[in-house]
Amino acid sequence: MARPHSVRHQRGFTFVALLCFFLLYLPMATMVVFAFNAGNTLGDLDGFSLRWFRAAWQNDQIVEALLRSLTVAPVAACLATVAATMAALATTRTTPYRGLAAKVAFLNQPLVVPEIVTAVALLVVFARIKVWTGYTGLGYLIAAHTAFCIPFAYLPIRARLETMDLSLERAAADLYARPWAVFRWITLPLLWPGILAGFMLAFVVSLDDVVITEFIKSAGQETLPTYMLGQLRRNVTPEMNAISTVFLAISVAVVSLFFLLNRKKT
């Protein structure tokens, strides 16, 4: 065969690929289109309008939930990224020892344990703490989000660390850099793309979370996803489409921003 073998030349490849693409993006495209619907229903298109965006913007509950989401997600993502960076350094910059694999597994527990189980467990514990301390603020949400975001931030950081040449850090130490200076001038700059990727993942995962948030939020502490879930039980208006579209826009914006930052770095 003259052509090097590639799965792209497999019969039906293009069809399957296009099908997957459609299934992935058709619903989203539909949602975005209907967000601009002038009509009252989710079913029929009645011309273009921004009325549902306006309605959402004027709905105090929605704005409040959005602001809460945009508080919890960045704070939790930052904390998770810092913790994940330290964990990744601790698990790669060491000679392997017994129990290291177990530690990594424990760290990644949120990826394995069903979220609902964690949610119930946290509910039980946090309910106690709320009784003892009387504190009912956002701290619980932030703590919980930080915890389940750590493995998502950890994975890209660790992947980056593992491909990093150890002799670079050794060379820096050889050139009179103390451990902190080695981290500041060598490890951190080279690790930065991994840290950004980790932060981005953690941010999106936190922004999107429903189950744990629903269980542990105090009264009135709706995030955007839990608010939307709550609305489903009443009547679904095209407002939902508008909120989801905004949500999609935020996610796309965050991902694009970090993609651009990353490309400039490397």
Partner 1 sequence: MAAAAPAIEVLDLAKSFGEARALDGVSVSIGENEFFTLLGPSGCGKTTLLRMIAGFDFPDAGEIRLHGRDIAGQPPFARPVNTVFQNYALFPHMTVAQNIGFGLEMQGKRHTEIAARVDAMLALVRMEALRERRTSQLSGGQQQRVALARALAPQPRVLLLDEPLSALDLKLRKEMQGELKRLQLETGITFIFVTHDQEEALTMSDRVAVMSGGRILQVGTPREIYDSPRDRFVADFIGEANFLAGEIAGIEGQHARVRLAAGGTVEAGLPAGLAPNGRATVFVRPEHAELRADGGDFRGKLDRVVYFGTDTHLHIRLADGSDFVLRQQNSPGGHFGLDPGAEVAVAFKPGAARVLRD
Distances (CA, A) of 257 to 31, 56, 200, 213: 23, 25, 9, 26
Q: Which is closer to partner 1, CB of 159 or CB of 248?
A: 159
Q: How far is the CB of 182 from partner 1 (least distance, A)?
A: 8
7-12's contacts with Cβ under 8 Å and 24+ in sequence apart are: none
Q: How far is the CB of 200 from partner 1 (least distance, A)?
A: 21
Q: Which is closer to partner 1, CB of 89 or CB of 123?
A: 89
Q: What CA–CA distance (Å, rounded) separates 165 from 100? A: 21
- Tell me the CA end-to-end span of the chain in Å, nearest whole number: 38
Q: How far is the CB of 94 from partner 1 (least distance, A)?
A: 14
Q: Which is closer to partner 1, CB of 90 or CB of 168?
A: 168
Q: What CA–CA distance (Å, rounded) separates 191 from 186? A: 8
CB 154 within 8 A of CB 90: no
Q: Residue 145: name the closest of 86, 219, 226 by CA.
A: 226
Other Cβ atoms less than 10 A from the Cβ of 2: the count is 3
Q: Which is closer to partner 1, CB of 66 or CB of 186?
A: 186
Q: How far is the CB of 130 from partner 1 (least distance, A)?
A: 47
Distances (CA, A) of 73 to 31, 63, 104, 209: 24, 15, 24, 10
Q: How far is the CB of 98 from partner 1 (least distance, A)?
A: 14
Q: How far is the CB of 97 from partner 1 (least distance, A)?
A: 13
Q: What CA–CA distance (Å, rounded) separates 63 from 52? A: 13
CB 64 within 8 A of CB 53: no
Q: How far is the CB of 189 from partner 1 (least distance, A)?
A: 5
Distances (CA, A) of 156 to 45, 149, 186, 196: 42, 12, 18, 9
Q: Which is closer to partner 1, CB of 17 or CB of 181?
A: 181
Applying CB under 8 A, the residues found at the interface with partner 1 are 165, 167-168, 170-178, 181, 185-186, 189-190
Q: Which is closer to partner 1, CB of 138 or CB of 164?
A: 164
